[in-house]
Amino acid sequence: MKVWNTDPKTFRLFSAELDQDLDKFFSDLRNDRMGDKTPPRTLNDIFYPARSSQPSCFVLPAIRGNVNFELKHQNIVLLPKFSGVEDPYLFLREFDEICATMQYPEVTNDGRLRLRAIPFALKTDAKKWMYGLPPNSIDSWDAFLFVFLKKYFPNGKTVRLRNEINQFIQLERESFWKYLDRFKDLLAQCPHHGFVKSRLCQIVYEGLDPNSRTMLESMCQGNFLGKTIDEAWEFLEDLTDKTLQWETTRADSSSLPDKISSAKGGLYNVSDNTYLESRLTLLENQLKSSLSRREIVVRGCAAGLNAAVGWCFATTARCRAAADCDRGAVKVGFPSPALLLLLVAVTMPP
């Protein structure tokens, strides 16, 4: 926009251009005069504002050739789920295995595929954490792994697992194969533990109880410490397989009925439990037979036989003597003394 001004010395007219701020001022002034005003906000607009969505934290890498990429439903349902309480390293391992089975010719970088699939694997609290990340802050799979492990596998957890690995010992009456499997599970929870293979062999050997260490040394003729690192670890793996097979074989043999302990010369030996059960059954039958024959009479008065006046349970009234009241008499069986002695002899421990 141009305006004309007068030179004070020569009294000549000259043109001058206004700056952009002045142009904007006059433009707004004209709009106001023409009625181009924003309508005032109502309370309804304030109480119920329009929905505004936060941009995604992911910046998806472009696919060459402008190819339309779409994850198939059958692949999405196969993805493992992570809500924040599961093992993060185990989840990532399963996630990588599922993504490796997805074949998309237009996607050459597997990191792009994982970055597009990870939002469908996060659930509940982990999903809320993802929504709270800054917009456009993750542009690669490595960037996501960094923030993910920083959240769900902090340094304190790493220190705790390293201490557990370094102080690992065999539990009481724990078989060797369970001991080594438990040690491997602990290593899988912290893949970045930092222990070399020689230190792992040392931890396993020093954590054994005396019986297992004796068995280990006898299996290698007392030369376990003379083996190389690879030979020692291979020996531990082989011993794990052997102890597993030995325990399985023993468990199968112990499943035979315990009523028959052994057979010699065509005769079966009856176990002590079977013999005791038969004696208890015989005693029960004799007790029932004795109770049906022997009976005594119990009076119904609570005052006793020597009281002059008592309370009768049968008539709910006072009576003069318990001996005079037969209304509340009850007949009960009473075993013989010999039968009681037999019961005590059978039930007493040897």
Residue 48 lies in a domain: no
Domain identity same for 133 and 87? yes
The pLDDT of residue 224 is: 94
Final residue in a domain of this structure, among 95, 118, 153: 153
Domain identity same for 180 and 143? no
Residue 281 lies in a domain: yes
How far apart are alpha carbons 63 and 46 in whole angstroms? 42
Range of the domain at 278: 274-347
Domain identity same for 175 and 93? no
DSSP for 118-162, written as a single string: HHHHB-HHHHHHHHTSPTT-B-SHHHHHHHHHHHHS-HHHHHHHH
CA-nearest of 243, 326, 335, 241 to 292 is: 335
Domain identity same for 107 and 136? yes
CA-nearest of 246, 245, 273 to 257 is: 273
Query: Per DSSP, what are the bridge partners of residue 6?
Result: 13
What pTM, to 2 d.p., does this model score? 0.58
Residue 262 lies in a domain: no
Domain identity same for 148 and 163? no
How far apart are alpha carbons 333 and 287 in whole angstroms? 10
CA-nearest of 74, 69, 79 to 117 is: 79
Residue 306 lies in a domain: yes
Domain identity same for 246 and 169? yes
Q: How many CB atoms lie within 10 A of CB 190?
A: 19
Three-state SS letters, 205-223: HHCCCHHHHHHHHHHCCCC
Domain identity same for 145 and 162? no
- State residue 125 phi and psi, 5-degree precision: -65, -35
Contact 299, 286 (CB under 8 A): no
The pLDDT of residue 263 is: 47
Domain identity same for 92 and 177? no
Domain identity same for 15 and 100? no
- Residue 305 DSSP one-character state: T
> Which contacts qualify for 61-64: CB closer than 8 Å, 24 or more apart?
61/109, 61/111, 61/112, 61/115, 61/139, 61/140, 63/106, 63/107, 63/112, 64/106, 64/108
Read off the amino acid at residue 227. Answer: K
Domain identity same for 149 and 231? no
Counted domains in the chain: 4
The pLDDT of residue 269 is: 53
Tokens of 200: 């792992």
Given its phi and psi angles, is residue 196 left (phi above 0), alpha (psi -120 to 50 degrees) or beta? Answer: beta
Given its phi and psi angles, is residue 304 left (phi above 0), alpha (psi -120 to 50 degrees) or beta? Answer: left
How far apart are alpha carbons 128 and 83 in whole angstroms? 9
User: Strand, coil or helix: what is 348?
Assistant: coil
The pLDDT of residue 166 is: 95
The pLDDT of residue 309 is: 47
Final residue in a domain of this structure, among 153, 187, 220: 153
- State residue 106 phi and psi, 5-degree precision: -80, -15
Residue 161 lies in a domain: yes
- Residue 85 DSSP one-character state: S
Mean pLDDT, consecutive 10-residue stretches, the chain (350 aa), reads 60 56 60 62 82 84 71 90 94 93 73 90 95 92 95 95 96 94 95 95 96 93 93 95 82 51 50 70 76 51 46 48 48 50 52
Domain identity same for 144 and 77? yes
Residue 149 lies in a domain: yes
Residue 52 lies in a domain: no
The pLDDT of residue 325 is: 52
The pLDDT of residue 332 is: 46
DSSP for 185-251, written as a single string: HHHHH-TT----HHHHHHHHHHTS-HHHHHHHHHHTTT-STTS-HHHHHHHHHHHHHHHHHHHHHHH
Residue 259 lies in a domain: no
Domain identity same for 242 and 194? yes
